[in-house]
Amino acid sequence: MGAQRHRPRTARHGLHVAVCRVRPSARPAVGQQAASGHPVGGRVRLERADGSVGPRAQFRSAHRRAPRRRRRRSDLLARLDVAHRRSLPDDLARAREVVGKRSPMSDVEAGEQVASPTPTPRRGTKEEHEVGDRRREGNPFLLVLSIPTMWWIIASGALHNFNMYALGSFVAPFLVRFHKINFLDAGWVAAAVYGFSGTIGLVVGGALADRLYRYRVDGRLIVGCGSIVLCAPLMYLGLTRPSGDVWGFALLMGAGCGVMYAYYSVVYSTIHDVVEPALRGTAMALYFCAMYLLGASLGPVGTGLVSDYFTFQRATVAGTVQPLGFGALIAAELRSLLGESKGFDVRALEPFRAEGLHTAMFVVPILAAILAVVLFAASRTVAKDVANLRAWMQKQQVGSPK
């Protein structure tokens, strides 16, 4: 009997998991040991595609839960994100053992999607007023952006993800350079500060948000704003700890990151509260676009540029290098990306990199304070937007005349 023709998986599903495999040219034979002693034959790597999966998973979960219970499903998806962040350093270390000093992702190619074959739920069936697929007339993107609360939430996503990716990229290097600990210990401390602490913030913050939401429509955003108000000074105090005080930094920064994760528990549910069911996928896509295009992309790059700037300024004060303006320094960084010389001895900056990175890390609590203001502004507009949506849904309810 001939081989069956491969049929790609096109069924609708709730949670996508991208499966990647090592290219045959870079993979030893099955059973062969790598130089590090670990068997690598047949190993696959699972990589969760945040940017593409997140919007779909979030808006699908909204259709499966009543408004008062949506936060619980959002918490579950966010906890998966915490687990991903917590395991990332170990994943990269194992990949480095297999492929050596090359980028672990350079020998990986995308495989097929593995999915749970759960059918797509009907939209709007869990709402107080069942509207199905009905929506307002007009361009879906403009309709979403016509909601004032969405502008504040989109801005908050960019600010929050800037901080998250700045911390994910630089907490471990900061511990190595400023607090003078080894890479292994820095990895464990960073995992505890950036990953483990988030679980507590998600659960506690979400429970408080649900409780306050019973009494006032803006309750969730008030909890989110309060968590960021608490987060900013904790992070600031953590960064003010002297060199060598790893425990003080870990406790304060870990507490700050923990309460910061409460953000996820409140914002996703708020988007579902102000946007009709037929447009929630579009709303989540716009939100995630801002999170990753502005936040995740600029977080590591922006923090790195600020670190280089302050490093250069410290070296200039010490008389090690000639003074350069910020624009000239950025131009030198861009030239280095093209393989050209920066115009000064990079090795002369090494003694000042710890101080430069230390100063640059203060960008995170500053942006957290701005994020608190943005969430407070969103809490001032959400009540009106929720009332407008409920009034529209009541008029459009399935079975009632339009």
Q: Which range (260-269, 369-378, 385-394) has the least confidence? A: 385-394
Amino acid identity, position 400: S
119-396: CATH architecture: Up-down Bundle (1.20)
Q: Measured between alpha carbons, how far is 172 from 194 in angstroms, rounded to an integer?
A: 10
Helix (H, G, I), strand (E, B) or coil at 113: strand
Query: What pLDDT score does 146 carry?
Result: 94
Query: What pLDDT score does 396 carry?
Result: 73
Say if residue 204's pLDDT is above 50: yes
Sequence-ordered alpha helix ranges (H) in 322-362 = 326-337, 353-360
More confident residue, 137 or 328: 137
Q: Which range (4-18, 84-98, 136-150, 307-321) has the least confidence? A: 4-18
- Token pair for residue 60? 């699908």
- DSSP state letter for 139: -
**Does the global pTM surpass 0.75?**
no
Q: Each residue of 229-250: b (16+ CB within 10 Å) or e?
A: bbbbebbbbbbebeeeebeebb
More confident residue, 126 or 161: 161
Where do the domains of the chain lie? 119-396
Q: Measured between alpha carbons, how far is 395 from 155 in angstroms, rounded to an integer?
A: 31
Terminal Cα-to-Cα distance of the chain (whole angstroms): 58
Query: What pLDDT score does 278 carry?
Result: 85
Provide the pLDDT confidence category of residue 118 given band limits of 50, 70 and 90. Answer: low
Q: Measured between alpha carbons, how far is 144 from 153 in angstroms, rounded to an integer?
A: 12
> Strand order of the sheet with strand 44-47?
44-47, 16-22, 108-115
Say if residue 68's pLDDT is above 60: no
CA atoms within 13 A on the CB side of 232: 17
Sign of the dihedral defined by the CA atoms of residues 371, 375, 378, 380, in that order: negative
More confident residue, 137 or 263: 263
Residue range 254-276: mean pLDDT, rounded: 91
Residue range 101-124: mean pLDDT, rounded: 46
Residue range 305-312: mean pLDDT, rounded: 89
Say if residue 326's pLDDT is above 50: yes
Contact 105, 247 (CB under 8 A): no
Q: Measured between alpha carbons, how far is 163 from 169 in angstroms, rounded to an integer?
A: 10
More confident residue, 232 or 94: 232
Query: What pLDDT score does 242 carry?
Result: 94
Query: What pLDDT score does 261 carry?
Result: 92
Query: What pLDDT score does 384 carry?
Result: 94
Contact 265, 76 (CB under 8 A): no
Q: Measured between alpha carbons, how far is 35 from 149 in angstroms, rounded to an integer?
A: 55
Contact 173, 357 (CB under 8 A): yes
- DSSP state letter for 179: S
More confident residue, 27 or 395: 395
Q: Which range (21-35, 215-229, 247-261) has the least confidence? A: 21-35
Helix (H, G, I), strand (E, B) or coil at 245: coil
Query: What pLDDT score does 45 carry?
Result: 38
Q: Measured between alpha carbons, how far is 60 from 65 in angstroms, rounded to an integer?
A: 9
Contact 358, 178 (CB under 8 A): yes
Say if residue 185's pLDDT is above 80: yes
Provide the pLDDT confidence category of residue 181 given band limits of 50, 70 and 90. Answer: very high
Query: What pLDDT score does 126 carry?
Result: 58
